[in-house]
Amino acid sequence: MRTPLDSFAFLAAVRSFARVKSPLLLSKRRTLIAEADLVALLQQRDQRGFALLYDNYSAALYGIILKIVRTEEVAADVMQDAFVKIWRNIDSYHSGKGTLFTWILNVARNTAIDKIRSQEFQQASQSQSLDNFVGIVEQENPVDMQVDAIGLRRVVAGLRPEHRTLIELIYFQGYTQAEVSEELNIPLGTVKTRVKTALTQLRSLITGLLLLLVPLRCTITDWLFRLTNNS
Amino acid sequence: MHDNRLAFPTDKQQLTRNDTTQSPTSLDVQAYIASGILESHVLGLTTAQEAAEVERLAQQHPAIEAELTSLRSALEEFALSYEQEPPADLRDRVLGTLNELGEQDEDEDDVDERGGKEIPLTSSPPLSVYRSPRFTWWVAASWGLLLLSLLGNLFLFGRLRSTEDRLTLAEAQNTTLAQRVDVQQARFTEELAVLQNPTTRRVDLKGTPEAPNAQATVFYNATQQKVYLASATLQAPPAGKQYQLWAIVGGKPVDAGVFDVQGGLTRQRDMTNAQAFAISLEATGGSTTEAGPKGPVVLMGGV
């Protein structure tokens, strides 16, 4: 019998093997490259490295940016700014900070949050409230999304509302715990507890999904990898 | 849970050795994980000091590292749930911007040595100002060289003119000389032909009592009727006087032409059936056949 934590640790290891240790499968171009090699390319400011990075991660980054800034026009600008920041700061990345994906995800997220906190942006979109933009994202047509994302979104939708609001305020709005406490009018201690609970809940929901998805994904990755090597 | 506990003794050993840092014990590790700071950390809510501590402890305790990884993965999956394809044209825009950045960085490497970012156009004027002294020197040097060159040209042109003049003169002299040589050669050839001709007869004229020591020679070719005179041995005639050669034909003197004393042979008038030759000293211009010799006959010789 496995505890949720154990099974997640197991799955995280499997995933990181599938995604990081073995060559990455870049879905659009079917180019295989190890993450360490990709980082080396990026640190040499090699254009091919950035093209690979874009092809592999642009959908994930763009989705997060769009979720934060809400309009496609601004999202495109922020996406460009984020890649410029990655270009300028790639030397400061090291594997101790997590995977490359975690790092660039944080760069994109921070760039987008900086944008919505800038004065010009706040003046332009003062009328929209938090409730509105949550609605906007949910109304979007999911045709573009990959199968994983649809499944994940359903799972995330299973979060309890107070946890979901909390994660979105922090993750998409860049709120500090103190700001959350003020915004939601709950004590700071409660916020801290709730952050932990929310993440734990999120993790267990995702673990449940991954138990179904990861074996399939690994099989496909492995199969494509072998196919590419044989041909 | 069993896996975690098996790992703890090694953690403890590491921790007891590390007395300077107040690292958590095995129970503290679980308490640390339970404290919620890792969740705060992956969400970027920790201070820089707390973040450094989390990363340091994660390196020391695999349990913390594993917990961090799983939390990060959960957030990644959460982020991926919003995955959306960007507009197709954004790829070229982003990669194009990075390409420009790469080129700019290369340019800045050059510019930075002079301590500033300048685009080439604005950096041009200071460059020419910087070169100004050297530039003036070159202009001065150029003008100097041009002047020297002009003077040199004038000098050489003068030399050329004088050389051309002298060359023209030399050519003229050469031509004259050549002509003279030609004339001379033609004369010598003719004289030689006369002398070598077997039908030419040599007539020695001897001085009469008027000029007992005088000598001259006539070469007469009766067939060709040509008369040549060698007069070099004669004394120059007095002023206003000129020698005149006469041929005696049928007992009568016939004018064969006046002559000046000179080297070589002089061709006189052609004569037919000359029997003898004589030379008289006449007034300049000589006499005629009709008038006959007026002055004294100084030489005479028969064929």
**Range from A2-11, A20-29, A132-141 carrying the lowest mean pLDDT:** A20-29
pLDDT of residue B177: 92
Q: Comparing A17 with A33, which gets the higher pLDDT?
A: A33
- Sort out which chain B residues have CB atoms less than 8 A from A101's CB and list them: 76
Mutation target for A interface from B33, B82, B93, B103: give the one with most A CBs within 10 A. Answer: B82
- Residue contact B44–A206, C-beta within 8 A: no
> What ipTM is given for this predicted complex?
0.70
Residue type, A175: Y
Residue A207 reports pLDDT greater than 60:
yes
Higher pLDDT, A147 or B176: B176
CA–CA dist B16, A204 (Å, integer): 35
DSSP single-letter state for residue A21: I
Q: A213-223 pLDDT, tens per residue? A: 656 656 666 66
Nearest to A54 among B42, B78, B91 (CB): B91
A28 touches chain B (CB under 8 A): no
Q: What pLDDT sits at residue A222? A: 67
In this predicted structure, what is the pLDDT of residue B160? Answer: 94
Residues of chain B with pLDDT under 70: 1-27, 107-134
Q: How far apart are CA B45 and CA B51, in angstroms?
A: 9
> In this prediction, what percent of chain A has a pLDDT beyond 70?
63
- Region of poorest pLDDT, from A10-14, A99-103, B240-244: A10-14
Output the pLDDT for position B156: 95
The overall average pLDDT reported for chain B is: 81
Q: Give the count of alpha carbons within 13 A of B199, CB side only.
A: 7
A90-97: average pLDDT: 83
For B19, the token pair is 């007395």
Chain A contacts of B40, Cβ < 8 Å?
177, 192, 195
B82: closest chain A residue by CA: A63
Above pLDDT 90, what percent of chain A?
20
Q: Taking CB atoms and an 8 Å cutoff, what residues of chain A touch B1?
A: 3, 6
Given this model, what pLDDT does residue A125 score? Answer: 59
Instruction: Specify the pLDDT at position B3.
Output: 41
Q: Percentage helix, strand, coil, to 5, in chain B? A: 55, 20, 25
Residue B131 half-sphere exposure toward CB, CA atoms < 13 A: 8
Distance from CA of A93 to the nearest CA of B (A): 14
Asked if pLDDT for residue A27 goes beyond 70, the answer is no
A6 or A40, which is more confident: A40
Considering CB atoms only, which of B40, B58, B97 is closest to A84?
Answer: B97
Instruction: Tell me the pLDDT band of A14, cut-offs 50, 70 and 90.
Output: very low
A190 touches chain B (CB under 8 A): no
d(CA A114, CA A69): 10
Inter-chain touch A192–B42, beta carbons under 8 Å: no
| DSSP one-letter string for A136-150 | HHHHS-GGGS-HHHH
The beta-carbon neighbor of A195 closest among B36, B80, B81 is: B36
Contacts with B93 from chain A: Cβ below 8 Å = 76, 80
First to last CA, chain B: 168
Kindly report, residue by residue over A155-194, the tens digit of the pLDDT.
Answer: 777 888 888 888 888 888 888 888 999 988 999 989 988 8
Q: How far apart are the first and last CA of chain A?
A: 41
pLDDT band at A109 (very low <50, low <70, confident <90, very high): very high
pLDDT of residue A174: 87
Residue A101: closest C-alpha in chain B: B76
Contacts A195 to B, Cβ<8 Å: 36, 39-40, 43, 45
Of A54, A96, A167, the CB nearest to B94: A54
Over the stretch B240-261, which tens digit does the pLDDT of each residue have?
899 999 999 988 899 999 998 8
Q: Residue A33: what pLDDT?
A: 72
Mean pLDDT of chain A: 75
Q: Is B199 on the interface with A (CB under 8 A)?
A: no
A120-143 pLDDT, tens per residue? 777 665 555 444 444 444 444 444
What pLDDT score was predicted for residue B285?
87
Predicted structure pTM score: 0.50
The predicted pLDDT at position B224 comes to 87
CB A104 within 8 A of CB A86: yes
**pLDDT value for B20:** 41
